[in-house]
C-alpha cells in the first residue's frame, strides 16, 4: 500500500533530482561546453559536478540542522524575519523566472519540431495546466510520478543515445586536454549554476522520511547526473564535432536526425526523442511550480496551498511570453543564470550556515534527528 | 446527480474537442520526396524531386511508372518547394528523403552551395543522415535515369551505398552531416562521391573534391585505389576491408591496412614532415598458369614470397606517392584526413597550425612507406 503522508523516501528524492538536474541543461549542454572549451568541454562537466557537490553539501548540511523547516522558516530564524522574507521572496522570483523561461523553451522546441501549426501559447498553457494538476496532488504524488517518468522518459533517451555510439569519431574529440585554466573555471562555474534543482533541497528536506542520509544521497545523485551528462556530451561532440555542436541550438535533439534505429521505419525519429524529453521537461516545470507554491504558502502562512497555483499560472505564463524570439529566450536565460544562479547555491547557504553555527541554532547532533 | 451530469458533459466536450486530427493529410496526398536534385539553371535554382508511385511500388494496384519526377524552380530551395504546390496537389514531405544530388552547375556556385547547405541544416525536415552525391552532368539527369533495376533511381542509389551488402561503395558514402562538418572544419573543403549515368547504368565514377565551397577537381576510379590505401575506409579509420593491387601479372587482395602517421616540424624549411607507414595484410588471388612446369614460378617458398612483397612494395609506393603529390599540388585539400591523426597524436602542434592547415598540408614533405605482407596464396602453389 502507498502511504499518504506527503513524505518521500531518499530514493524518490534522488529520482526527482536526477530528472530536474539532467533536464535543466541536457538539451543544450554540448553547445554550452563547446562554446567554452570546444572539444574539451567534457572536462567542464567534471568541474561543474565537483562544484555542485560542494553546493549540495552546504545546502543539505544547513537543511539537516532544521529538518522540519524550509528555507522560509529557518532563514527568518537565522537572519531575522525581514531578511528571511527577502531571501525567500528572491528564491521564489528566481524559480518563477527560470520556470517561465523553461516553459518558453519547451514551447519553442515543440513548435519547431512537432506542432508547427499549433500556437505556442496553446502548447504552453496545456503544459502548465497538466503541471498544476500534479502540483495540487502534493510531493508524494510527484515522487511516484517521477518513478514512472524515469523509466518512461529518461531511460529510453539513454537507450536511444547508445545507438549513436557506433557513429562516433574519436578525432572529433581531439586534441585532448588543450583547455585553458580560465575557460575551465568559467565553464565549470556556468554549468554548475545552470543546473537548476539543487535549490529544491531548501524545501525538500522536511518532506523526507529520513533526512539524515540526504547529503550522501544527493552527492551520489550529482555524480550520476554528471555521468549522464558526460555521456551525452561525448556522444554529441563525437558525432558533430565541437564547431557543429556549437552551431546547433539543441544539439542533443539533432542527434535524432543522424542516428538510424535498427529495423525501424520511423520517419521522424526526432519526434520519438521529443516524446521522451517532454516527460522529463514536465517533471522539471512541475518542480518549479511545486516549489514556488510551497515557498509562497509558507511565506504568507497559508494553510491551503492549492489556490496559489491559480495565481502563479498567469504570472509564469505572462513571463514566458516576454522574450521576442528563441535567441532572446536563451539570452534572458543566460542573464537569469548569471544574475540569480549563483546566489542561492553558495553565498546564501554559506551565510545561513555560518550565522546559524555562530548563533548555535538548529539541531546540532545528527543522530538526534527524526 | 446534477454535479455528475455537469462533469459528464465537460468530459464529453473535452473528448470531442481534443480528439481527431483537424489538419490531417492522408498518406496518399503526401509527396514523399525520396531524392532531391539541385541544379543551377541561369539565375534560378532548379530542384528535381523523385516521388515514388506508392501503389505501384508496394504492389497494391495502380499503374504507370514507379516514380514521378517533378521539377520546380526558385531562388532558393524553400521557394522551389513552395512552387511545387502550384503543380501538384500532394504535400511535399522530406521525412523519407534518402539522397541529394548536386549538379555540375550548382557545384560551381559558392553562394548557392552555402545557401542550400544552410537551409538543409537549419530545417528540421531533412535528416542529417541523408546521402550527398555529385554528378558531372545535371542532377535532373541522374534522377530521371532508368537504371537496370526494379527500384526508382534514388532508391537504387541509396541501396548502392548503404547497408552491409554495399561493401564496395559503403566506404565512399558521405552523409549531409559528414559533409557539413568537413566544410566547417576545413573552411569549405570536402569530398563527395561522383555519379554518372551511362549505358543505362548509374555508376560511381570517382570523387568530387570541394574547395572553398565549389568544385575543385575530381579523383578518378584509378586514383581512388591508392587513395583508399592511404586514407582507409569509413572516413579515415585505420583499416580497410578490401582493396586490390593488380601488378604486372599478379593480383594482391588487401584485407587490412594499419596506418601510422608521424608528424614533425621540418628542420630544413618551414613546414611539416609527414611520414605515413601503411602495413598491409593480404592474399595472392590471381597469377598466370605456367606454360611449362619446370618454369613454374613457385610461391610455395618464403624467398619467393619475400621477392613478391618487395615487388608489390615498389609498385604500390610509386603509385601512392604520385597520388599524394597530385593531391598536394592540384587539389590542395586534405582529402587524406591527415588532420584527424594530427589532432589525436600531436594536439599541441594542431592547435598551433590549425588555422593554416591547408597551407601546411599543401607544402608538407609527405613520404609514404608501404609494407605489404602476403599471408595466403590460394589453393595452388
Give tens-digit pLDDT for A172-223: 998 988 899 999 999 999 999 998 888 899 999 999 998 888 999 999 999 9
DSSP, collapsed to helix, strand or coil, labels residue A333 as helix
Residue A171 has pLDDT above 50, yes or no: yes
Q: For B199-247, write each residue's pLDDT tens digit.
A: 888 889 999 999 999 999 999 888 888 888 887 654 334 334 345 555 5
With an 8 Å Cβ cutoff, are A258 and B177 in contact? yes
Answer yes or no: do B235 and A260 touch at CB < 8 A.
no
* Contacting residues of B for A126, CB less than 8 Å apart: none
Q: Does the beta-carbon distance from B128 to A257 stay under 8 Å? A: yes
Nearest Cα residue to B139 out of B278, B248, B35: B35
Quick: pLDDT tens for B46-75.
999 998 877 777 777 767 777 788 999 999
Q: Which residues from chain B sit within 8 angstroms of residue A174, using beta carbons?
A: 340, 343-344, 347, 350
Span B100-141, pLDDT tens digits: 999 999 999 999 999 999 999 998 888 888 899 999 989 999
**Over 90: is that where the pLDDT of A92 sits?**
yes
Instruction: Please name the residue of chain B whose CA is at the shortest distance from the CA of residue A237.
Output: B181
Residue carrying C-alpha cell 552523409: B175
Give the pLDDT confidence score for residue B239 in this predicted structure: 39
CATH superfamily of domain region B221-381? Nutrient germinant receptor protein C, domain 3 (3.30.300.210)
Residue B303 pLDDT class (50, 70, 90 cuts):
confident
Predicted local confidence at residue B321, as pLDDT: 92
Distances (CA, A) of B277 to B101, B284, B317: 36, 21, 11
Buried b / exposed e over A223-232, threshold 16 CB at 10 Å, is ebbbebbbbb
Q: Where are the domains of chain B?
A: 28-212, 221-381
Measured CA to CA, the distance from residue A74 to residue A62 in angstroms comes to 9
Q: Do B127 and A240 touch (CB under 8 A)?
A: no
- Which pLDDT score is estimated for B64? 73
Q: Which residues of B touch A241 (CB under 8 A)?
A: 181, 184-185
Chain B hits for A239, Cβ within 8 Å: 177
pLDDT, chain A, mean? 89
Flag whether residue A112 sits within 8 Å of chain B, measured between CB atoms. yes
Helix axes A306-320, A120-135, angle to 10 degrees: 160
Residue-level length of chain B: 381
What's residue A266's pLDDT?
Answer: 57
B181 touches chain A (CB under 8 A): yes
CA distance linking residue B347 with residue A174, whole number of Å: 7
Provide the percentage of residues in chain A whose pLDDT is more than 90.
67
pLDDT class of A160 with cuts at 50, 70, 90:
confident
Three cell numbers written together for B53 = 508511385
- The chain A residue lying nearest B343, using CA atoms, is A175
pLDDT of residue B297: 58
Query: Which one of B127, B130, B176, B189 would you mutate to disrupt binding with A, by most A Cβ within 10 Å of its Cβ?
Result: B127
Nearest by CB: A243 against B184, B236, B347? B184
pLDDT over 80 at A261, yes or no: no
pTM metric for this prediction: 0.86
How would residue B331 be classed by pLDDT, with cut points 50, 70 and 90?
A: confident
Burial-class residue B128 by CB neighbours within 10 Å (0-12, 13-18, 19+).
buried
Domains of chain A: 10-170+181-368 (1.20.1740)
pLDDT at B240: 42
User: Helix, strand, coil proportions of chain A in percent (round to 5)?
Assistant: 75, 0, 20
Residues from chain A contacting residue B346 (CB–CB below 8 Å) = 175
Q: How high does pLDDT run on average in chain B?
A: 83
Instruction: Tell if the CB–CB gap between B236 and A171 is shorter than 8 Å.
Output: yes
Test B341 with A176 for CB contact under 8 angstroms.
no
Using a CB-CB cut-off of 8 Å, the residues of chain A touching B175 are: 258
- Could you tell me if B231 and B334 are in contact, meaning their C-beta atoms sit under 8 angstroms apart? no
Q: State the pLDDT at residue A268.
A: 61
Check CB contact of A257 with chain B, cutoff 8 Å.
yes
Q: Which residues fall within 8 angstroms of residue B171, CB to CB, at 6 or more apart?
A: B228, B233, B234, B240, B241
pLDDT at A312 > cutoff 80: yes
pLDDT at B163: 67
Euclidean distance between the first and final Cα of chain A, in Å? Answer: 23
Top-confidence range, A79-88, A148-157, B77-86, B326-335: A79-88
- Determine what percent of chain B is predicted with pLDDT higher than 90: 30
Contacts of B121 in chain A (CB under 8 A): 247
A170 touches chain B (CB under 8 A): yes
Task: Give the model's pLDDT for residue B378.
Answer: 77
Find the mean pLDDT for residues A141-151: 92
- Rounded (10°) angle between helices A10-25 and A214-247: 20
Instruction: Examine the pLDDT at A367 and tell me if it is beyond 60.
Output: no
pLDDT of A106 higher than 90 = yes
Residue A223, preceding peptide bond in cis (omega within 30° of 0):
no
Q: What's the average model confidence in pLDDT over B300-326?
A: 86
Q: Does B124 touch chain A (CB under 8 A)?
A: yes
Question: What percentage of chain B reaches a pLDDT higher than 70?
Answer: 87
- Please tell me which residue, B96 or B21, carries the higher pLDDT value: B96
Amino acid at each position: 500500500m502507498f502511504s499518504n503522508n506527503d513524505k518521500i523516501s531518499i530514493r524518490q528524492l534522488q529520482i526527482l533530482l536526477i530528472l530536474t538536474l539532467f533536464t535543466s541543461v541536457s538539451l543544450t549542454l554540448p553547445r554550452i561546453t563547446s562554446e567554452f572549451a570546444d572539444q574539451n568541454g567534457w572536462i567542464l562537466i567534471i568541474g561543474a559536478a565537483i562544484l555542485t557537490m560542494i553546493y549540495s553539501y552546504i545546502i543539505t548540511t544547513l537543511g539537516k540542522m532544521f529538518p522540519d523547516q524550509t528555507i522560509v522558516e529557518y532563514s527568518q530564524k537565522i537572519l531575522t524575519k525581514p531578511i528571511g522574507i527577502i531571501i525567500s521572496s528572491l528564491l521564489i522570483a528566481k524559480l518563477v523566472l527560470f520556470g517561465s523561461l523553461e516553459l518558453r523553451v519547451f514551447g519553442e522546441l515543440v513548435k519547431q519540431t512537432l506542432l508547427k501549426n499549433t500556437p505556442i501559447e496553446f502548447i504552453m498553457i496545456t503544459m502548465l495546466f497538466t503541471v498544476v494538476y500534479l502540483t495540487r496532488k502534493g510531493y508524494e504524488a510527484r515522487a511516484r510520478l517521477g518513478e514512472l517518468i524515469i523509466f518512461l522518459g529518461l531511460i529510453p533517451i539513454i537507450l536511444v543515445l547508445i545507438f549513436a555510439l557506433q557513429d562516433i569519431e574519436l578525432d572529433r574529440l581531439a586534441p585532448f586536454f588543450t583547455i585553458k585554466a580560465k575557460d575551465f573555471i568559467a565553464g565549470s562555474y556556468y554549468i554548475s549554476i545552470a543546473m537548476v534543482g539543487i535549490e529544491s533541497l531548501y524545501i525538500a528536506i522536511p518532506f523526507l522520511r529520513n533526512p539524515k542520509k540526504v547529503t550522501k544521497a544527493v552527492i551520489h545523485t550529482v555524480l550520476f547526473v554528471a555521468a549522464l551528462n558526460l555521456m551525452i556530451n561525448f556522444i554529441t561532440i563525437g558525432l558533430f564535432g565541437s564547431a557543429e555542436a556549437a552551431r546547433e541550438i539543441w544539439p542533443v535533439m539533432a542527434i535524432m536526425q543522424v542516428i538510424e534505429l535498427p529495423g525501424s521505419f520511423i520517419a521522424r525519429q526526432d519526434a520519438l526523442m521529443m516524446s521522451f524529453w517532454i516527460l522529463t521537461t514536465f517533471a522539471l516545470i512541475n518542480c518549479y511550480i511545486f516549489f514556488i507554491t510551497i515557498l509562497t504558502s509558507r511565506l504568507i502562512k497559508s494553510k491551503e496551498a492549492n489556490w496559489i497555483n491559480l495565481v502563479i499560472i498567469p504570472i509564469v505564463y505572462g513571463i514566458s511570453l516576454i522574450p521576442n524570439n528563441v535567441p532572446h529566450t536563451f539570452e534572458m536565460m543566460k542573464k537569469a543564470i548569471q544574475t540569480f544562479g549563483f546566489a542561492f547555491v553558495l553565498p546564501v547557504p554559506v551565510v545561513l550556515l555560518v550565522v546559524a553555527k555562530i548563533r548555535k541554532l538548529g539541531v546540532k547532533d545528527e543522530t538526534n534527528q527524526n | 446527480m446534477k454535479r455528475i451530469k455537469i462533469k459528464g458533459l465537460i468530459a464529453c466536450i473535452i473528448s470531442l474537442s481534443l480528439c481527431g486530427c483537424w489538419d490531417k493529410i492522408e498518406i496518399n496526398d503526401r509527396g514523399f520526396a525520396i531524392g532531391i536534385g539541385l541544379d543551377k539553371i541561369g539565375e534560378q535554382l532548379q530542384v528535381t524531386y523523385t516521388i515514388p508511385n506508392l501503389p505501384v511500388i508496394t504492389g497494391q494496384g495502380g499503374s504507370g511508372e514507379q516514380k514521378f519526377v517533378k521539377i520546380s524552380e526558385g531562388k532558393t530551395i524553400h521557394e522551389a518547394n513552395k512552387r511545387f504546390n502550384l503543380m501538384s496537389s500532394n504535400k511535399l514531405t522530406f521525412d523519407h528523403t534518402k539522397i541529394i544530388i548536386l549538379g555540375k552547375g550548382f557545384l560551381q556556385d559558392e553562394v548557392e552551395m552555402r545557401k542550400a547547405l544552410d537551409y538543409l541544416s537549419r530545417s528540421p525536415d531533412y535528416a542529417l543522415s541523408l546521402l550527398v552525391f555529385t554528378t558531372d552532368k545535371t542532377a535532373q539527369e541522374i534522377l530521371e535515369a532508368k537504371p537496370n533495376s526494379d527500384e526508382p533511381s534514388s532508391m537504387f542509389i541509396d541501396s548502392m551505398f548503404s547497408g552491409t551488402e554495399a561493401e564496395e561503395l559503403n566506404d565512399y558514402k558521405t552523409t549531409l552531416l559528414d559533409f557539413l562538418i568537413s566544410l566547417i572544419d576545413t573552411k569549405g573543403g570536402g569530398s563527395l562521391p561522383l555519379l554518372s549515368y551511362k549505358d543505362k547504368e548509374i555508376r560511381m565514377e570517382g570523387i568530387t573534391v570541394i574547395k572553398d565551397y565549389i568544385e575543385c577537381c575530381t579523383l578518378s576510379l584509378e586514383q581512388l585505389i591508392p587513395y583508399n590505401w592511404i586514407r582507409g575506409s569509413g572516413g579515415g579509420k585505420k583499416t580497410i576491408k578490401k582493396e586490390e593491387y593488380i601488378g604486372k601479372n599478379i593480383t594482391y587482395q588487401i584485407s587490412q591496412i594499419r596506418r601510422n602517421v608521424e608528424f614533425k616540424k621540418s628542420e630544413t624549411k618551414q613546414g611539416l614532415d609527414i611520414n605515413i607507414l601503411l602495413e598491409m595484410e593480404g592474399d595472392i588471388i590471381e597469377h598466370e598458369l605456367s606454360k611449362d612446369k619446370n618454369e613454374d614460378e613457385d610461391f610455395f617458398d618464403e624467398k619467393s614470397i619475400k621477392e613478391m612483397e618487395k615487388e608489390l612494395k615498389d609498385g604500390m609506393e610509386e603509385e601512392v606517392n604520385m597520388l599524394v603529390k597530385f593531391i598536394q599540388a592540384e587539389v590542395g585539400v586534405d582529402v587524406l584526413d591527415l588532420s584527424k591523426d594530427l589532432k589525436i597524436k600531436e594536439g599541441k602542434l594542431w592547435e598551433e597550425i590549425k588555422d593554416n592547415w591547408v597551407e601546411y598540408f599543401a607544402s608538407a614533405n609527405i613520404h609514404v612507406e608501404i609494407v605489404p605482407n602476403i599471408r595466403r596464396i590460394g589453393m595452388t602453389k
